[in-house]
């Protein structure tokens, strides 16, 4: 079997598997007893923080294995690689705006990935996958916020 097909297939499978907690936690905020909403909100926040932090690591890893980057591209990629984790940490002190900060972090991370994926010679399907994953994450976070606000928390 083609190595690139396996990489693409596995990347898609793992990417979509990573959406499961986002979706289940959003659903839980809508369906569970309201006494549990705070627990699910906190779990959703923690999972979003971990996931957003992971996205910065893409650039760290890609920079380390790419031999074709200029010094400026390397500096910018490594500099950017710490931004998602800083945004994620900042979200922890934003109170009622924490999910908005996280959503902006995911959208911003996708926008940067879209601009610099050519530096790493990433396959065309990568940025489409990132778009799809980002859309689901942002919708799940929005649904979580709506549930918390509409269900009295």
Report pLDDT for 6: 57
The answer to whether 27 and 139 have CB atoms below 8 angstroms apart is no
Q: Tell me: the pLDDT tens digits for 77-116?
A: 999 999 999 999 999 999 999 999 999 999 999 999 999 9
Report pLDDT for 7: 87
Mean pLDDT of 12-24: 98
- The two tokens of residue 16 are 């979509």
Q: Tell me: the pLDDT tens digits for 110-140?
A: 999 999 988 888 888 999 999 999 999 999 9
Report pLDDT for 2: 46
Q: Residue 48, SS3? A: helix
User: Residue with structure tokens 């923080």?
Assistant: 49
The domain ranges of the chain are 19-150
Report pLDDT for 121: 86
- 3 pLDDT above the threshold of 70: no
Q: Tell me: the pLDDT tens digits for 47-61?
A: 999 999 999 999 988
* Composition of the chain by helix, strand, coil, percent to 5: 85, 0, 15
Give CA separation, 2 vs 16, 122, 147, in Å.
Answer: 21, 17, 44
Report pLDDT for 1: 43
Mean pLDDT of 128-153: 94
């Amino acid at each position: 079997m083609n190595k690139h097909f396996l990489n693409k297939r596995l990347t898609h499978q793992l990417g979509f598997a990573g959406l499961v907690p986002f979706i289940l936690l959003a659903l839980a905020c809508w369906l569970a007893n309201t006494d549990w909403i705070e627990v699910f909100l906190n779990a959703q926040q923690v999972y979003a923080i971990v996931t957003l932090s992971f996205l910065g690591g893409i650039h760290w890893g890609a920079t380390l294995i790419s031999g074709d980057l200029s010094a400026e591209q390397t500096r910018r990629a490594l500099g950017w690689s710490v931004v998602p984790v800083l945004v994620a940490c900042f979200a922890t002190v934003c109170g009622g705006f924490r999910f908005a900060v996280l959503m902006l972090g995911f959208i911003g991370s996708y926008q940067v990935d879209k601009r610099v994926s050519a530096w790493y010679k990433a396959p065309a399907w990568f940025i489409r996958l990132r778009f799809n994953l980002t859309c689901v994450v942002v919708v799940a976070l929005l649904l979580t916020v709506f549930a918390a606000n509409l269900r009295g928390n």
